[in-house]
Amino acid sequence: MKEKHHFDIKAIKNEKCWDFYDCVCLINYIRRSTSFLECFYCHHQASSLPELEKHFAESLHTCSLPDISKWNDPIYLFPTYESDPLIMHPDLHV
């Protein structure tokens, strides 16, 4: 995640002083947006996964986080993917 997507959940969690639930909401928000081929940052609607990946690469949105107001909602406590390995990652449980 750190190398390919520049996303270090442990560093983000520590820097922002977030708890487990904050991290889960952010992850689920990103997962849900991308599952609908939508940019989690600017809401650009792509027509395919390669197009969305191209958008991410060109926009550099993955280098910054979306505003907390977009994902700080109890709906994002529910996983987008059942048994999501990212949510089960040990760095979230420290």
Confidence class of residue 16 from pLDDT cuts 50, 70 and 90?
confident
What pLDDT, in 10s, does the model give residues 43-72? 999 999 999 999 988 887 666 788 888 889
**3-state DSSP assignment of residue 14:** helix
Residue at token pair 């708890």: 19
Tokens of 86: 């990212």
Between 10 and 90, where is the model more confident?
A: 10
Q: Dihedrals φ, ψ of 36, to 5°?
A: -100, 15
Mean per-residue pLDDT over the chain, rounded: 86
